[in-house]
Chains A and B, each alone.
Chain A
Amino acid sequence: MLIRQGGRTRRFLGTINAAATPDSTVDRRTFLRRSGFAAGGLGAFAALSIGMVTRSEAVPGPAPGEATERRKNVCTHCSVGCTVIAEVQNGVWTGQEPAWDSPINRGSHCAKGAAIREIVQGERRLKYPMKLVNGRWQRIGWDQAIEEIGDKLQTLREESGADSVFWLGSAKFTNEAAYLMRKLAAFWGTNSIDHQARICHSTTVAGVANTWGYGAQTNSYNDLRNSKTMIIMGGNPAEAHPISMQHILAGKEINRANVIVIDPRFTRTAAHATMYVRLRPGTDIPVLMGIMWHVVRNGWEDTEFLNQRVYGMDQVREVIERYPPEEVERISGVKGDQLRRVAELLATQKPATLIWCMGQTQKTVGTANVRASCLALLLTGNVGKPGTGANIFRGHTNVQGATDLGLDVTSLPLYYGLTEVAWKHWARVWEVDYEWLESRFDEVPAKVGRKPRSRRENMETPGITSTRWFDAVTMPEDVIDQATRIRGMVVMGHGGNTVPRIPDAVRGVEALDVLVVVDPHPTSFASMSARKDNFYLLPACTSLEMHGSRTASNRSLQWGEQIVQPAFESKNDYEIMYLLARKLGFADLMFKNIKVENNVPVAEDILREINRGGWSTGYCGQSPERLKAHMRNQDKFDIVTLRAPKDDPEVGGDYYGLPWPCWGKPELRHPGSAILYNTDLHVMDGGSPFRARFGLVRDGETLLAEDSFTAGSELTDGYPEFTVGVLKKLGWDADLRPEELEIIQRIGGDEIERVSWAVDLSGGIQRVCLQHGVMHYGNGKARAVAWNLPDPIPVHREPIYSPSVELVGKYPTRPDERQFRMPNNGFSIQKAAIERNTARQFPLILSSGRLVEYEGGGEETRSNRWLAELQQEMFIEINPADAGERGIRDGQWVWVYGPESQSKARMRALVTDRVGRGVAWMPFHFAGFYQGADLRGRYPQGADPIVLGESANTITTYGYDPVTNMHEGKVTLCQIEAATS
């Protein structure tokens, strides 16, 4: 028996320590183990290396006999919104239990969620406020930090105006913190306030909202259980949203659903697909057009749906004709018969859904990509029903909420925009003078032929985006369309390695007069530059250490309760913003209606203020009391429909988390909207039509729905959005209550007819409309042609750095143009790349993406010892053929060279078939190495992440979407060379 077992042992040892099977390549962890880092087994004893991680005495285990309290919060990583149940003993987080009752994660976590306790208990946090003095980090107190920072910001403001300070917020904020920071920027007097949505799904928001009204996931993770066909194009949920796979695989198994992955990389998700389509990076539009070509050619369109609910599809058909199978294959490398099969499944195996992430959005053509995806769904009638829809998986825990609440250079909270109407609406909610807000903004002088801007015009002008801030620091002042260049930056919860062109960003960091980073970790800002002073690090706690709500990708709001007090000397975002506002002199105004206890604004009060102003997007019904009731009653909600039984006393009839829009005042008890644009339901059951926000008629054709309306509607055709005037025409104004009318009168003055559903602070218009079964935002058609976008119908455009001269000639990028106060010179750069024959010197296409154990810029997750152990080195995936040509062996050190700034980065090679020939791929979570140099010494001692590595964005290059200035993170060119050491 022993002999037999021994035989097995040897064979099995082989599978662990070397290649998994004789014919396979190694997996990424095995290869790292072989490259010198141990992960168990006899041949690999606990070899402690880089991070010096040992069993920590500081992390206490459970204390037997000690009373245990359970607290519920939400995982701070991706947007799925997994409930975390913490066991707390004596104020210490000692254990974590599965959250079985959550309808979203049903007890499950991924590697990040299962290791999340370490984020609070870990020793690598930024522990106290620090200041860089002559290149060395010095510990200071909070009072001194706030005093000095406030004085420096005020000086910049006096010398160069409010726009000279750039504010960067976070997708890891709670909704309440996101809202506060947008408000803070408004009171400071700038629109240059942004966050990670810029670099994640800004193009989705723009593309989707411009198609049918709201720019968010139309359905939910849970609803994927209803799908018969799921197309995942430009997403890798197995690594980026692991818990979503529970629902995807359930759909696949229960419905025998088709799971189609379209991606340049054979991802871990593709391993579970029923069909895999490999395309050349940057060719999503031709592939989607190619799919639609087959739909049209075979008469698979949903004609009734198109007639009733879609405007302009005939114009799209003309564009589709330009993408026959041969042309699509020439551009993308995808064969026509494969796309015919995809088209057939999408159109005939319904309900079908399209899932996408940054593979579509993070591109120079991001908005157009997303639009093309929407068109494919509209053409086949796959919107507004269970199992269908644009299932856009957002990236961070609260990137949806932070987007909603206006950490965005183009809008005040909740998509009101920056118009006078919007500012006046929020001035009423905040109870401050509109004129005072106006007075806070800069006047912009005329520059090189550009007109000057008054304060009012400037407050209505979008700010500078997070993808370009460093250009706005280093470029000549004449080029930047505001009073002066950016001189100061306040960063809260945002990494420095998350946008392309790090060599340029380093120059930007060095040229800033003041840099303030507020974060649980020092972030890559701490290490990326050789700054010597005027740089502050303030320790913020994580959202696990504070109260507040978060909005998951499916628009559900979840209330998280504080698990433990903020670790070390960290403070929560609310308190930090309060202290800053107080120092800057406007705390009394800003917190006029928000209770502040011991300098900490009360989260519930902030949410109530959001409710009072959140009519446009249905953030008005989710009171803290209702959200807390949902967390108490998680077990009541169905895992497919997300709805609670109608007879439940606390949450009866509600959808879990009151997914926005949740209309009217909380007392109205609107259930939220689990599936957008579903006309099979009554509006009070979460039904809705497409939003009528683009006018009534275009080129003689109606933009209102025809013969389509929500169940039980008193209006049985399309209708425009509601104002008091429309109510009057219908005779429904009589239903308004006196107290509602009084408020409407105050808003409208002499023109009360013009008061719309979105600015009516009484909620009366919404209430009356819902009572009549109609949707106050109107009943419109989705737009197949979005005439206000640069490409009203998507067309293929080659990436800025394309491998093909010929294709750039036929499909060039858009002309140079000014956007967001900055020049976007993509065309010139593409042209120069062709003229220099860049593709010969840099023949490999470079793409990037996520690993399951890390998130975003990765400083937080690389500081988590359980996660850090799993992935200890930065690497680049390269196809065996390309590796062979370059004499590169698996696991070997290589240099990766980029086509701009003579950039280079040193990392390990992972030779794998996962990427196709001519394509290389890097994870984007690393920082702390720069062009071969180890920057560990630049972090404050003890707060350096365990694992460091070269940033993908050291190599990535220029390229900005014309609509949102999303960067090009997915396609550039590179060269890879074996490193000698």
Chain B
Amino acid sequence: MARMKFLCDADRCIECNACVTACKNEHDVPWGINRRRVITLNDGKLGERSISMACMHCEDAPCAAVCPVDCFYRTEDGVVLHSKDMCIGCGYCFYACPFGAPQYPQVGNFGSRGKMDKCTFCAGGPEEDSTADEYRKYGRNRLAEGKLPLCAEMCSTKSLLAGDGEMIAQIYRERVRQRGYGSGAWGWRTAYRSDIAV
């Protein structure tokens, strides 16, 4: 079984935000909720680098560890999903997440934040695959249709890779070998407890 992962090649990311709008378009994510975003370091200076970020679908997901209602689960592909029916909007997962992935639709305190929303690796939720109910709560289920996450598929420079961890690691390794440099697979150590040796 494949182990799905994301990898952002920071030497290629140009901060065009295609990943962000592709996600919005595909899942009709409302304003203020960002399942994916692009972060720029050293903006406007030599050494400026951008990284596209979302839920990394961690190996040992801290969100799942802290969730008081245990709404998270992992698919056979290693994708970390959650049930919005069970979620109580407590916000613990946001504090636990090293990537700032969980998002909430409402302003408020004491559990009134609404159901948590985050990147699903375009794999929907616990509802039956590719149903209207699943779409309404989690967006489109591309994995069920045999497709990969749209953010990576539409990435302008093929910086953002999504797919089987082995395969994307191999693509990245070849790139680094060919061009002679690479700033590393950002977030992999945190998310997957591994790195890509070249």
Contact = CB atoms under 8 A, between A and B. Distances in A.
Contacts of A256: 179-180
Contact of A867 (B11, B21, B43, B147): B21
Main secondary structure of the interface of B (DSSP, over half): loop
Contact of A268 (B12, B14, B100): B14
B52 to A, nearest CB: 12
B46 interface: yes
B17 A62 contact: no
Given A46-B32, A245-B156, A913-B44, A870 B14 contact: no
A433 interface: no
Interface string B82-107: 00000000010011111110011111
Given A41-B103, A243-B156, A64 B130 contact: yes
B170 interface: no
A852 B15 contact: yes
B18 A238 contact: no
A40 B103 contact: yes
Interface string A50-80: 0001111001011110000000000000000
Nearest to A96: B25
A108 B43 CA distance: 24
Given A45-B113, A853-B17, A866-B24, A62 B140 contact: yes
Interface stretch (A11-19, A124-132, A320-328, A924-932): A11-19
A29 B19 CA distance: 15
A108 B156 contact: yes
A111 interface: yes
Contact of A46 (B31, B135, B136): B31
B14 A21 contact: no
A46 B106 contact: yes
Interface stretch (B33-41, B73-81, B161-169): B33-41
Interface residues of A, number: 83
B96 A6 contact: yes
Nearest to A118: B25
Interface string A258-299: 000000001011011000100000000000000000000000
B66 interface: yes
A40 B158 contact: no
A41 B98 CA distance: 12
Interface stretch (A246-254, A336-344, A801-809): A246-254
A366 interface: no
B20 interface: yes
Contacts of B19: 114
B40 A20 contact: yes
B173 interface: no
B104 A45 contact: yes
Given A109-B154, A238-B15, A5 B62 contact: yes
Contact of A110 (B18, B43, B113): B18
A6 B93 CA distance: 11
A64 B132 contact: yes
B78 to A, nearest CB: 19
Interface string B20-64: 111011101011111001011111111011100000000000100
Given A26-B43, A266-B44, A852-B16, A47 B32 contact: yes
A256 B34 CA distance: 36
Interface in B142-198: 147, 150, 153-158, 175, 178-180, 190
Nearest to A113: B18
Given A107-B154, A109-B22, A47 B107 contact: yes
B103 A117 contact: no
Nearest to B103: A40
Interface in A427-474: none
Contacts of B94: 41-42
Interface string A99-111: 0000000011111
A650 interface: no
B25 A253 contact: no
B65 interface: yes
B48 A869 contact: no
A422 to B, nearest CB: 41
A46 B108 CA distance: 11
B97 A9 contact: yes
A115 B25 contact: yes
A44 B106 CA distance: 10
Contacts of A27: 39-40, 43-44
A913 B42 CA distance: 10
B37 A40 contact: yes
B16 A110 contact: yes
B106 A114 contact: no
A238 B16 contact: yes
Contacts of A238: 14-16
Contacts of B33: 40, 46
Given A41-B100, A47-B107, A254-B178, A870 B20 contact: yes
Contacts of B48: 266, 268, 271
B21 A45 contact: no
A28 interface: yes
16 contacts: A2-B62, A27-B44, A40-B33, A42-B94, A45-B105, A46-B105, A53-B31, A108-B155, A108-B156, A118-B25, A242-B14, A256-B179, A853-B17, A866-B25, A870-B17, A914-B44
Q: Give the 9 A-B CB pairs with smallest separation, nearest first.
A: A46-B32, A914-B44, A27-B43, A115-B21, A114-B22, A40-B34, A111-B17, A271-B48, A253-B179
Interface of B: 11-12, 14-22, 24-26, 28, 30-34, 37, 39-46, 48-50, 62, 65-66, 91, 94-100, 103-108, 113, 130-132, 135-136, 140, 147, 150, 153-158, 175, 178-180, 190
Given A54-B30, A98-B150, A112-B21, 11 more contacts: A16-B39, A25-B43, A38-B32, A42-B91, A46-B31, A47-B107, A64-B135, A108-B155, A114-B154, A243-B156, A246-B157
